[in-house]
Structure 1
Amino acid sequence: MDINQQKEQFSNTYLQAVATVAGYSLYKPSVDDNSIDLGIAAKGETGRIRAPRLELQLKSTSRDILKDKLIRYPLILKNYNNLRMTDIAIPRILIVVLIPDNLANWLKQSEEELCLRHCGY
């Protein structure tokens, strides 16, 4: 597996862990033709809206994307345009997972904890 595939898998795992602890489920569209990598869904009985969903474009980087309290991530125009559509049934967001430069620092594990480093924005 090359480093980009590792980053993608790490990002998927990070998001799966966060969604699981929050009580949500993830789903993967069978074809990615709308720049949607994953979807997140809640149970049908929760909240005001039944079975809410959110579609996600997932990116990962070890670049410094935090500048002046803003997140700056370069995105190709097609992906940007797919995210900003307003005439869609399910809202879409971009999640950028920040990963350490050194692969050895991505994950720390012991008998007492599992630490995935850094975080998603």
Structure 2
Amino acid sequence: MSNYDSQWKEQFSNAYLLAITSQAGWKIASWNVDKDLMDATIETKIEFTDGRYKSHKVDLQLKCTDSPVTNTEKFISYQICKEHIEHIKKRVLSDPFYFILIHVPKEKEKWVEHIKENIDFNTILRNCGFHYEIISSNMNELKPTLQFQKNSIFSAEFLKNSISEFDTFEKYREYLNQRMKINT
């Protein structure tokens, strides 16, 4: 393992995030440093049926690993620093906040592959990113080992579905009111 291993994983995490948000049509506000346990804030515009619109933001903490604590058929477990968990428990969450775990092969050369099919080439990012939402109602239950469900894939489809219910401003306002009730 190289001294640069964590830097390479950080860069791959950023590339994965850029690929997914680009496909979904979201913007990224990346931070040069891990700011308050946030690697990036992503944003999209929600357009309501009455013509109004609202900017919607999501905060992300990115983690990349080739060796999770456990990797089963349903879960990938990942160890989070105990101090980070304690810090997160003190946050007031007005915007959604997710840990994104990008699981990569051990061999760095397999993280990105170019495969020729007929006359075209395909670029494949390996392996996958998974999301785990931190919400106020589960903060007290947070433990240093997070269980990422393998069906919770961080994808363009996930981002689009996360806002699909907000066709009216009233529904979005109710969503915000519920978030703030949970956070107090």
Fold conserved between structures, TM > 0.5: yes
Does structure 1 conserve the Cα–Cα contact (< 8 Å) formed by 2:39 and 2:61? yes
Aligned-residue CA RMSD in angstroms? Answer: 2.5
Measure, in 2, the Cα distance between the counterparts of 1:49 and 1:61.
37
Q: 1:112 — aligned with what?
A: 121
Matched, 1:61 2:65: yes
Q: 1:18 — aligned with what?
A: 20
Matched, 1:90 2:67: no
Does structure 1 conserve the Cα–Cα contact (< 8 Å) formed by 2:45 and 2:53? no
Q: Deviations over 1:15-61 (max 9, x none)?
A: 11011001111112355341000111102536897211110000000
Q: Could you tell me which amino acid in structure 2 is paired with residue 120 of structure 1?
A: G
TM-score, normalised with respect to structure 2? 0.57
Does structure 2 conserve the Cα–Cα contact (< 8 Å) formed by 1:83 and 1:94? no
Measure, in 2, the Cα distance between the counterparts of 1:44 and 1:15.
20
SS for the counterpart of 2:31 is: coil
Q: 1:42 — aligned with what?
A: 44
Q: Percent identity?
A: 29
Q: Could you tell me which amino acid in structure 2 is paired with residue 25 of structure 1?
A: K
Q: Select which of 92, 99, 105 maps to 1:100.
A: 105
Does structure 2 conserve the Cα–Cα contact (< 8 Å) formed by 1:8 and 1:59? yes
Change (3 A) 1:55 1:70: same
TM-score, normalised with respect to structure 1? 0.84
Gaps of 5+ in 2: 131-184
* Farther off after superposition, 28-37 or 14-23: 28-37
Does structure 2 conserve the Cα–Cα contact (< 8 Å) formed by 1:83 and 1:93? no
Gaps of 5+ in 1: none
